[in-house]
Chains A and B, each alone.
Chain A
C-alpha cells in the first residue's frame, strides 16, 4: 500500500511528462484535472471485475421513497452492488431483490400489490448522466413499498476528486503508477507528443490492476452467484428439500 497526496502525484506526473514546477503549458490546475481523470479511470478498472472489490462500498437505507410512490434518489452513488428489502428498520427479515426487465414492470405494477419481503418486488436503476438538473442515479421499486418497508442499497461511490494538495490517496501495490502514467499521457498528448512508451506502461499497469482486482480474496475465490438462494421466506431453498 502506498499513500500519496495530490502534490506528490503532481510531482510524479511532472517527472514523467517533463514539466516544470510552474509549467506554463500545463499549469497545476490542469494537471490536477488530469490526475483526477486518471483516478477515475483506475476506479473503473478496479470495479471492472465482480466480486470482492478494492473499492469500499457504502450502505444507504431508505425508510421511504424519496419521491412517492417508488422513486429513490442515489445522488452520491456511482454503482449499485445490491438492493435489499427489509420488513422494518431493524431489518428482522431481509430479502434481496433484483432488477426488473422493462417488460416486467407493467406486470409488477398492475398487481395492486405493495412491495414487501414476501412479495417478489423488483427494482430498476437509471440516471447519473445528463443535465445536472435531472439529478443523479435513481432507483425505482416495483411495486411501491409498504409503509415501514425499508429499502437497503449497497453501493460504490464515484472516484474521489482531489482538490487539496495534502489529501492522501491510498493505492494498493503500486497502482498509483497507473494514475501517473495516465495523467502524463494526457500532458504529452496535449502537445502531440510521442506517448507510445507511456501508453505501453499504462496498459501493463491496467492489466495488472484488472487481474489483481478480480481476486481480492486469494483464499476464497469467487463463486457463481445464486440469485434464488437469498429469498428470505425460504432461506433453505425455494421449494427444494
Chain B
C-alpha cells in the first residue's frame, strides 16, 4: 500500500517586526524557503503585525470657501504649525483650519513656483525665442555687436541642460548685413529648428529662413535655407500639420503674405496674399489643428489705427477668409496711439476649436524733436497708460465669443497652457509688465539705444522689458521662455541701482475678477552675478475706462544693487511642497523667494529693499533732469511760521535712520535693513521750531511682497542720534503706523505715490543730554550686529542649530542665531560657498546636528556652531564630503525622518542614514522611479511612510521605513498630500463622486472592521506579489501541493459583497506565462471559508503569488482584507529538514 509523500506545512509570513520574528525575510527558515520579499505591493501597507492590508480609505474634507479657480489650480499642501493646512495653488495659498474650515480670504501670498533651472544666453536686446524638439531646446537671441545687432543660435539638451550647440552666429544675409527679430519654431520630434529673421540693414527687405538640424549638433550647420524678398516689416512662424510650417509676413507695402513651407525642402506648398490687413506694426499667427486652419491677427496703423484685423485660411492656404476686426482700447490720453502689437493664440479649452486670442499693444506718441526719426515708443507719463493687453475667446471664424478684461500697462501676451492643471482646458496667458514710471527712449539711430524702454531711476526699481518673446509650456509642464529678455539701462555707472522685471502668468477664466502673479523669477545677469527674486504683486484689474489712479495696484518691486541683462529663465510648476521646515513657528517657504507663512498670510523673509528717501517731487516736465539722490538730502523749510531754532542752524547735527518693521501673527518682529544714515547738515527736510523737530520727507514704500495685508502692527521706525541726544547710538525716536493700502492710509506724494510722505515730529528734544532718547531702544544693528538683508532665492530651507539655513545653486546661507521674538534674519556675510563637488547645489537637509548639502553629484555635511550675530566667533568649517558619486536630483524629494534622510538620486531613492552611511534603498522601485523624474517626497509618520509622488495621476511610491517595504499607491488622483492630524491628507483634483459632488480633499484614517461605506469612491484595490519562492530549496521536496492565503480574508462579514472579489494568480518556474488563476467572488465565498489554491504545477522549481482585490463594480466598498501570510502544503520524501550538515550524514 503506497504511503504517499510526507506532507509538511510551511507558513510564510508576509511581514512582521523583527522582534516578532516576522517579515518575509525574518520569520522563515531559509532552509525551507528562500526569503520571498514582497516583490510588489500596490495600494497596501505592511503593518507592524505582519499583515498586508489595503491602504487606508479616505474621507472627504469640507472645502467650502475655496474659489473655483483655486480648485482648478491647487497643486501642493503643507502643514503649518500643526494647526492648519495650507494649500498652495498657482494663485497663492489657501488655509484650512479645524473648526473654521477653509479660509475665504482667497488669494494672497506667493504661489508655489519653484525655480527650476536657469541658463545664461547673453542677450543684449529684446529679441529672443526658443523651441523644443527631439530632446533639445534651441534659442535664437540677439546681441549688440558694435554698432549693430547680431542673431545667434544656441541649443541645449533639453533634459540635462548640457550645451548641445554653442552660440553660433546666424548667417545668410548679404555680407555686411546682420539679422534681427529672430523667431524659431520646430515640430516636437523632427529635430529641425526653423529660424526666421530679418535684415538689419534694410530692416524690411529680406526675410531669411534657416534650418538647423539637431543631427548635426554641436555644429550649427544650415541644412536648408530660403529668402523671401519684397520688404518685410514683421513676421511670425506657426507650426502646421506634420512636415509643414507657416511663415506669415507683413510686407512693407502693407499687404500680408502667408506661406506654407515644407520643412524638409523649404518649398512653398501654398501661399496667400491678403490686402487690407497689413501687420506692419505687429502680427500673430497660429495653426489651429482642431479647425485645420491658420489664424492671423495683425495691426497696421496705416490701414486702421484703432483696430486689429484678422484673417484665417484653410490649412493648405487655398482660401482666405476675413475675420472680425477687434477694436483696440482707446488711449486715455490725446495724441497717443498704438504702434507695437503682438497677437497670440491658444486653445480656449473648448473642444469645438474655440481659441483664446490675446492682443497686446503698446502706445506711442511722437516726442518733439524726434518726430523725424522712427516712432518713439513712449510712455505717457508717470501715471500714464502705456500698453494694454486684451484677451478674447474667439470662434473658428474669428468672431468674438467673449471678451476678457484687459490689463493695462502690460504688453506681450504669451501662448501657453496652465501646466499644473490636469485639465488641458486651462490656458494661461502671460504678460510682461511694461512701465511703472517715467522713461527715456529713442529711436535706435545709435548703438545701444534701440527700441527698448529705458527707465531712469525715479524709484529704486525700474523696468526695461521687451517684446518679441513668447512663453510656451513644454510637454513636461515647464514654462520655457517665459518672458524675459530685458535690460536695465545703458549706464551702469550712473545708475547702479536696479531694474525691475515682472513676469506674470494668468489663469484663463471667463470672468477674471483677480489677477495674481507669478513669483520666482530667477535671473542670470552679465558677469556671472546671479540673483533670484520673486516679482510679486496682487491686484485687481481695473475697469477698462479707468486709467490707473495709483501705481500701487501694479507696482512690482525689483532688486536693488544688481545690474545686468536678464537672459532666460525657466519655471517649475510641478507639484512641490513649499515648506519643509519652520522657525519661530513660521513656516518657511522656498519658492522663488524665501518667505514665511504665519497662519494669516505669506510674505517675503526680509524686505528686498530698505527705506530710502527722495527729497523732492518728481519733475515730469524735465525728463532729462531726473534727479536721483541717494542718499537724499533734506530741504530745510520753515513751514510752520514759527521761530527757527538757532541751535539747529548752529549744530546742524541730526542723524536719522528709517527701518520698516512689523509684527507677525506669532509676535515675531520683522525688520528691514536700516536706511542709510542721514545727517541733517546742509539738508533740507527738517524744521526745528521751538525745540521741536519736524521732519518732512519722502520715503520709498515697503515692498508689497514683504508684508501680509493682514498684519495689524506695521511701522516705519525712525531712529535718531546727534543733536537730540548726547548718546551717539541710533535710538528709536518715533514709530509711525504704516497703512499702505486702505483709504486714509499713510500719506503719499501725489505725483509719486510709490513714496510715503513722512512727517514725524520729534518732541521735547533735549540737546543737553537729558533726552528721553538716551534710554530708548537702540537700532538693532548697533554693536556691529549684522543687518537683516534679504537672502537670494533658495531652492531649499531647513532649520537647525538655532538657525535657519537656505541654499541656492552655489552657496549655503544661514541666519544669525535665532532670537526670541525676532524673525530669522539673513545677511550676505553669513554664507558658505560650496566650491567642490559636481553640479550645482540641489537640496538641503538635516541629520541630528549636521546640515546636509546635496549637490547633483555629491553630498556634503556641515558641522560646528558658527558665528554670532555680528558675524564674529567661530566660523563654520568647510563642508566635508560624504559622497562623491551620488547626489540629489530633486529638491522636493528630500525627506528626513528617524531613519536619516532619503532622497532621489540619479538612479532612484537613496538613504543617508544617521551614521552618514549611504545606501540605495530604491532598487525595488527602480522601474517606477525612472531617470528624468522629479519626485516630491512627504513623511507620513502616522504610518511610518515616506511617500514620493510620481506623476499627476496621483501614483506614488511608498516606503514603509519600519518594515523596509515598498509599495505603490494609485487609483486616487492625489496631486500632493501632507500628514495632518490623524493621517495623510490628500489633495485631489476634483474626483467626482457618485452623488455628483466633487471631492477635492481627503483624509486617510484607519478603518473599523465592519465599516462598509463612506469612502472616497475611487478604486484603490490592494494587490501584492511575492518574490519567487524557491521550492528547490526545500530538502526532499517533491511537490508543493496547496497554498492557503492566511489572514482575515473571509471573516469580514461583508468582504464579499457585490463590489469585492479576490483573485490570486500563481506563477511557476520563474515564468510569468505559466500561471494558474484562482478567483473568489461573493458566490464562492458562501462555501469557501478559506482561500486555498490547489496548485496546478506542483513539481515546480519556484512559484510566486499575485494577490489582488477585484473591484467588481468599479469600487471597493469595504475596508478590505488583511493578509498575514501564505501557508504551503508541501509533499516531501522524508523529513524536510536538514538536521545535520551534509558532510556529517552517515
Contacts and interface: CB of A to CB of B under 8 A. Distances in A.
Interface in B1114-1134: 1131
Interface stretch (B16-24, B184-192, B1027-1035, B1092-1100): B1092-1100
Contact of B1094 (A19, A192, A195): A19
B1092 A20 contact: yes
Interface string A15-42: 0000111111110000000000000000
B118 interface: no
A193 interface: yes
Given A191-B1041, A193-B1131, A24 B1096 contact: yes
A194 B4 contact: yes
B1094 A23 contact: yes
B1099 to A, nearest CB: 9
Given A25-B1094, A199-B1, A193 B1041 contact: yes
B1094 A194 contact: no
Contacts of B1084: 21
Of A21, A22, A191, A195, most B-chain CB atoms within 10 Å = A191
A25 B2 contact: no
A24 B1041 CA distance: 11
B1039 interface: yes
B168 interface: no
A193 B1038 CA distance: 11
A24 B1094 contact: yes
Nearest to A193: B4
Contact of B1095 (A24, A195, A196): A24
Nearest to B3: A194
Given A20-B1092, A24-B1093, A193 B5 contact: yes
A5 B940 CA distance: 60
A195 B4 contact: yes
Interface string A172-207: 000000000000000011011111100100000000
B1065 to A, nearest CB: 11
Q: Is the interface of B mostly helix, strand, loop or mixed?
A: strand
A26 B1094 contact: yes
B1078 interface: yes
Contact of B1078 (A24, A26, A194, A196): A24
B31 to A, nearest CB: 22
Interface in A114-147: none
B320 interface: no
Contacts of A192: 4-5, 1038-1039, 1131
A191 B1078 CA distance: 19
A23 B1076 CA distance: 10
Interface in B1069-1084: 1076-1078, 1084
A191 B1098 contact: yes
A10 B1088 CA distance: 17
Contacts of B1094: 19-20, 23-26
Contacts of A22: 1078
A196 B1 contact: yes
A122 B13 CA distance: 75
Interface string B1024-1051: 0000000000000011010000000000
Contacts of A23: 1094
Contact of B1131 (A19, A21, A191, A199): A191
Contacts of A188: 4
A237 B1093 CA distance: 70
A26 B1095 CA distance: 9
B202 to A, nearest CB: 83
A25 B1078 contact: no
Contacts of B1092: 20
Main secondary structure of the interface of A (DSSP, over half): loop
A25 B1098 contact: yes
Contacts of B2: 189, 195-196
Contacts of B1131: 191-193
Contacts of B1078: 20, 22, 24
Contacts of A24: 1066, 1076-1078, 1093-1096
A192 B1099 CA distance: 11
B1104 to A, nearest CB: 15
A153 B1094 CA distance: 49
Nearest to A192: B5
A30 to B, nearest CB: 11
A191 B1039 contact: yes
A25 B1094 CA distance: 6
Contacts of B1098: 25, 191
B1096 A25 contact: yes
Nearest to A196: B1
Nearest to A17: B1094
Contacts of B1039: 191-192
Given A191-B1039, A191-B1131, A192-B1038, A25 B1095 contact: yes
A230 to B, nearest CB: 46
A183 to B, nearest CB: 16
Interface in A55-77: none
A2 B141 CA distance: 96
A21 B1087 CA distance: 10
A21 B2 CA distance: 27
Contacts of A196: 1-4
B408 to A, nearest CB: 74
Interface string B738-770: 000000000000000000000000000000000
A23 B5 CA distance: 20
Nearest to B1040: A191
B659 to A, nearest CB: 81
Contacts of B1077: 24
B1016 to A, nearest CB: 34
Interface centre among B1, B1076, B1092, B1093 (most CB of A within 10 A): B1
Interface in B90-117: none
Contacts of A191: 5, 1039, 1041, 1098, 1131
Nearest to A197: B1
Interface string A209-224: 0000000000000000
Contacts of B1: 196, 199
Nearest to A188: B4
Contacts of B1093: 20, 24
Contacts of B1096: 24-25
Nearest to A203: B1
Interface in A143-159: none
A19 B1092 CA distance: 10
Nearest to A26: B1094
A189 B4 CA distance: 8
A206 B108 CA distance: 91
A193 B1 CA distance: 12
A24 B1098 CA distance: 11
Interface in B71-93: none
Nearest to B1131: A192
A8 to B, nearest CB: 16
A22 B1092 CA distance: 11
Most buried by B among A24, A188, A192, A199: A192
Given A24-B1078, A26-B1094, A193-B1131, 17 more contacts: A20-B1078, A20-B1088, A20-B1094, A23-B1094, A24-B1066, A24-B1076, A24-B1093, A24-B1094, A24-B1095, A25-B1041, A25-B1094, A25-B1095, A191-B1041, A191-B1098, A192-B4, A194-B4, A194-B7
18 contacts: A20-B1078, A20-B1088, A20-B1094, A21-B1084, A22-B1078, A24-B1076, A24-B1077, A24-B1095, A25-B1098, A192-B4, A192-B5, A192-B1039, A192-B1131, A193-B7, A193-B1041, A194-B5, A194-B7, A196-B2
Closest 6 CB pairs of A and B: A194-B4, A24-B1096, A24-B1076, A192-B5, A25-B1094, A193-B4
